[in-house]
Chains A and B, each alone.
Chain A
């Protein structure tokens, strides 16, 4: 079975400071990992993904994430947070093995609040 954990319900950060949103996962095969952002009453916006290759993945709006296989983590980072980054962030995983199908499993979400 595949699972995702986002250990922090909320992250508070001052504008201009680095932002980190944590994510750990569990899969049977190799992971396909995704980060999405959701603004109030809106659907999910894709930020970035890790499928294979370089462990450091760069995505939209200045976000990046590092795949760490030994720690089974895929933390989302931004060097300098903006007030407009305040939103709900979801980490998701899909197991590469065929038996898992095409299902994504989402973490519980982390609310990010960037204060001016």
Chain B
């Protein structure tokens, strides 16, 4: 149980285009999903926290108009990178927390999406 998927696993796009990445919890309902960004040989940096049915909360320094997050259902959150530029090339990882009252609300991680902007 507690499987999280991401689609696509890899995407290459031209500069100026928009890219949508999906994060799905396959066998549980997730009230909260998180989006992380990881540069080569670096740690994961939290970009934003999204709760189902409400606006995402962005970390300091993350442009909310550039990284649009939608959490429309308890099993799906999407991250759209708008007007992508080469500096947006990165590994994007999502995680999801269960909707049941676990005291520590463990996060389950997706496999990641490699975005390359040409």
Provide a sorted-by-A list of 28 A–B residue pairs whose CB atoms are within 8 angstroms.
A36-B109, A41-B112, A41-B114, A42-B111, A42-B112, A43-B93, A44-B109, A45-B109, A46-B108, A51-B103, A51-B104, A90-B43, A90-B44, A94-B104, A96-B104, A102-B49, A102-B97, A102-B105, A102-B107, A103-B46, A103-B49, A104-B95, A106-B43, A106-B44, A108-B42, A109-B41, A109-B43, A111-B41
Give the residue among A44, A105, A108 with the most B Cβ atoms within 10 A: A44
Contact assessment for A43 and B43 in the assembled complex, using a CB-CB cutoff below 8 Å: no
Q: Interface size (B, Cβ < 8 Å)? A: 24
Interface centre among A36, A43, A90, A103 (most CB of B within 10 A): A43
Once bound together, how far apart are the Cα atoms of A103 and B105, in whole Å? Answer: 10
Give chain A residues whose Cβ lies under 8 Å from the Cβ of B97. 102
- In the complex, which range does the number of interface residues on chain A fall in? 20 to 34
